[in-house]
Structure 1
């Protein structure tokens, strides 16, 4: 594929392979299942696919604990299936982005096992962060916390039972952090990049892109600015040294040609995210400030304005997103009292109003898809799937559940297998009806076979929006704000007026042809919790 900067306005669909489609009946999605469902994605109208990890893994964290970056885990099929998937996607005009997990490996990775066996002071331990403890060695080396709860340090025990050194893990104890000051680490990942580039992938989504480099000396964490809650700040995060790594990776991708991309998962403010998408680094970086916006018109205008200004300064697009495998699905998020709260919901928690949530979610989606830049969709949002908020606790698999001592339910609720057929066992996810997590009954009416091509369905709205977005060039347009009153987000882009009524009782629409709306528009008035696109001069 030739270089055309396709990524500047691409709509990319995230697949969580374990929950997308199962072909062998074991209840776990697999790569052959993804291959079978590629025509569905072509019909929907996306430009590319991002696959969450499918590498060899103990699955302590859903595959984000990688034991071997070069092969496919048997749960997902064979390594040859990954090559078949890339080939078939390209035949259908879809590009493929794969996940890269460079902040940490699995504790089962050969490097970590060798480091544990080699002992303190060994070259093998220099590939990770091994340190003696504080005081008499019984206290962690610093006060850093795991994202999943608890300390970011675990102490080893020697074979004879003697307490040993501590190792750093910003996530689960089964995910030791790599030491990116070590040249061996850099060489390992350059080899991994080349391995998958040789397999003709179109790019990499970089997990924890802001976490690879730690502050020298690993100083204690200080207080976090309350205004930045949700963003990961401090000596473990967003150190300037990460950019040298990404400049080197940029050169690797450039050597392959074909307009390949790097995508940053970096939970940092918009003012810092622009650093990751400078011309010699990555091409995209998820806009998590937009994802975390409350359902509030003023907040949306502020974040959209600041985001576009930040990325425009470095000549990069803004990359919009509303849901992914780590956060509460946005239908359910918009149906709860705190619409910016992205944490999971359990059966004992206040339940969201999913009808209200769907109205707001589809309105937010139409607003997002009309903004200049690129956008990501998470599997199932085109069906209007809510979070599974009543998942039995005994079935939870997210390490957050255990590490938080059962105070946070974690992310399992947004990872429930896809519903394909309303009347099939397992809603068509698996030929045996098995599903690694149970599907809620509400998914039956939302199954793909109940929505594809059906007028008025959520799927059809998404498909229409993606078609119009491409035809009208919305992703490459320029945004001009419109003033239509308090509680309204309104702008013009590529000859289209986009109006989202967040909280006003009703909004008089500008003169023009209504091209698409997230609900029924009558008499030129847009009700609350709705978005409309209008062709204007």
Structure 2
């Protein structure tokens, strides 16, 4: 099966390249140091010129921002720091006029402790109907109801003044919704329709595997003396069977819009689940449309391991009729330029203490971009990926904003390093991020001048122009996007090579020595120069097969 420009528009999500915008850190139109909706609007031409198909906007709702907006206090409005509903409406219309679709975040596992329903629950007291919308329980002998751990550190239960405990699988400011309660179910039905009716094209579902809980509240096993954080089969708060009932209900709502002029509304799941067969259950034909594949993000820069992950992912998802969706970085992970520049055993950890070769990381990041964009299915680009930004690992402790920093007792720095505002122009901070000279909410490094979009635009060999060229070829070439692939077996060890019909081949050299390109190969695009028909190490090339 191949796919090209003649595919129906209503299948756009099966092959789309989606650009993730983290609103606080993308562009600041009003000069207050915080990114906003009008900043995104101003950069829509940049995104259209880059060549992406859609934009996913991380939470833009009213929020105390104790977890970067994933603590939502009102699901039907825009954070005043970011703008207004009228600004959002204008953004949606302007994006559509440029051929860009808009996805926004849905945060259904939990809300903010400032949400009116949670405030009402605290005020109403034990046994009240208001508390039944959340997980309020009595403890035993002063201990919480279960030993469940919170994702950001510590336990998952917080005791309040009347002695009861409420469940928060993340920060204490994020009480979990009780998805066994009909009012919660109906409320999220209404939230979906509110935004679909305003013209958004879909939702990214935050922790899509977490909403349903085992109501018997069993403890989790211990690992090295501590409650396990593993998502083992049967975990009482992850990947419970009831979550699929929720997704099937949402799919039915999205399908109500399929025959509108705008076309279908879609969902992409964030579910950190392995093996891939578990993830595939979320993208069956009556559930969510696609799911992030994080196994490649977590994979070492190794040909054998990458091939295994790619095979396992595609086989599992094709078995249920779903496309693969590839991702290298996002707002929760160390940027892949930094990850690929260090020993793979420490790639996801050790901010600020693990030796990193950023030049090696950049070379591998360029090759990884061509690999990602050549694979079958869709792909996601995190803001700044196209600029080759590294992780900022030396942020001063006093500016760290991620709740992980506090919940870990100041032992884990958290995710702020990948959330530093991106550089647009100029030679010093704030690099055109804001309309004035004020510094952004997280400080930018002094040496980012050469990485700005402005500096890279005029350099044919820049990281930005590599992305532009790859996205242009991907859009034009009939073999790319959704479809199938076959591995080329006649290649040296340490090399990944696959062909896609008609007439496309991707070769990535992850070995220690340069290798010969196929005889007579015509280079469409290379991540770095390919001299004398030799493909250097840590380099990828697209060929006309």
TM-score w.r.t. length of structure 1: 0.95
Alignment correspondent of 1:522: 531
Are the counterparts in 2 of residues 231 and 267 from structure 1 also a CA contact under 8 Å? no
Equivalent residue for 1:422, pick from 423, 426, 430: 426
Between 1:305-314 and 1:521-530, the stretch displaced more is: 521-530
1:208 and 2:207 aligned: yes
Question: Deviations 1:420-441 (Å, cap 9, x if unpaired)?
Answer: 0023651000122320000012
SS at match of 1:74: coil
1:128-527 → structure 2 map (5 Å cutoff): 128-134=134-140, 136=141, 138-158=142-162, 164-222=163-221, 232-233=231-232, 234-257=235-258, 258-269=263-274, 270-338=276-344, 341-343=347-349, 345-346=351-352, 349-423=353-427, 425-433=429-437, 434-473=439-478, 474-483=480-489, 484-494=491-501, 495-511=503-519, 512-527=521-536
Partners of 2:357 and 2:378 in 1: CA distance: 29
For structure 1, which runs of at least 5 residues remain unmatched after alignment?
A: 159-163
Shift of 1:50: 0.0
Shift of 1:405: 1.1
1:19 and 2:25 aligned: yes
Question: Deviations 1:265-312 (Å, cap 9, x if unpaired)?
Answer: 001011111011111111110001111001111110000000000000
Shift of 1:508: 1.5
Kindly tell me: are residues 519 and 3 of structure 1, through their superposed partners in 2, closer, same or farther at Cα, counting changes over 3 Å? closer
Are the counterparts in 1 of residues 429 and 445 from structure 2 also a CA contact under 8 Å? no
Shift of 1:476: 2.2
SS at match of 1:13: strand
Shift of 1:375: 0.3
Partners of 2:428 and 2:406 in 1: CA distance: 34
Shift of 1:240: 1.4
Shift of 1:504: 3.3
Are the counterparts in 1 of residues 530 and 536 from structure 2 also a CA contact under 8 Å? yes
Between 1:295-304 and 1:469-478, the stretch displaced more is: 469-478
Are the counterparts in 2 of residues 334 and 356 from structure 1 also a CA contact under 8 Å? yes
Question: Deviations 1:186-206 (Å, cap 9, x if unpaired)?
Answer: 001000000000101000000
Shift of 1:4: 2.1
Partners of 1:283 and 1:351 in 2: CA distance: 39
CA RMSD of aligned residues (A): 1.5
SS at match of 2:451: coil
Between 1:491-500 and 1:293-302, the stretch displaced more is: 491-500
Are the counterparts in 1 of residues 428 and 446 from structure 2 also a CA contact under 8 Å? no
Are the counterparts in 2 of residues 12 and 46 from structure 1 also a CA contact under 8 Å? yes
Partners of 1:215 and 1:89 in 2: CA distance: 41
1:10 and 2:23 aligned: no
Partners of 1:417 and 1:296 in 2: CA distance: 31
Question: Deviations 1:45-81 (Å, cap 9, x if unpaired)?
Answer: 0000000000000000010000001010111011211
Partners of 1:329 and 1:425 in 2: CA distance: 20
Partners of 1:224 and 1:35 in 2: CA distance: 48
Alignment correspondent of 2:118: 112
Are the counterparts in 2 of residues 517 and 531 from structure 1 also a CA contact under 8 Å? yes
SS at match of 1:358: helix
Are the counterparts in 1 of residues 22 and 331 from structure 2 also a CA contact under 8 Å? yes
Partners of 1:247 and 1:362 in 2: CA distance: 38
Kindly tell me: are residues 230 and 455 of structure 1, through their superposed partners in 2, closer, same or farther at Cα, counting changes over 3 Å? farther
Question: Deviations 1:300-347 (Å, cap 9, x if unpaired)?
Answer: 00000000000001000000000000000000011111267324613x
For structure 2, which runs of at least 5 residues remain unmatched after alignment?
A: 1-7
Question: Deviations 1:411-456 (Å, cap 9, x if unpaired)?
Answer: 0000000100023651000122320000012321100001124200
SS at match of 1:311: helix
SS at match of 2:77: strand
SS at match of 1:345: coil
Shift of 1:223: 5.2
Are the counterparts in 2 of residues 453 and 459 from structure 1 also a CA contact under 8 Å? no
Are the counterparts in 2 of residues 486 and 504 from structure 1 also a CA contact under 8 Å? no
Alignment correspondent of 2:3: none
Q: What is the number of residues matched between the two proteins?
A: 523
Partners of 1:71 and 1:343 in 2: CA distance: 36
Are the counterparts in 2 of residues 516 and 533 from structure 1 also a CA contact under 8 Å? yes
Kindly tell me: are residues 253 and 514 of structure 1, through their superposed partners in 2, closer, same or farther at Cα, counting changes over 3 Å? same
Shift of 1:492: 0.9
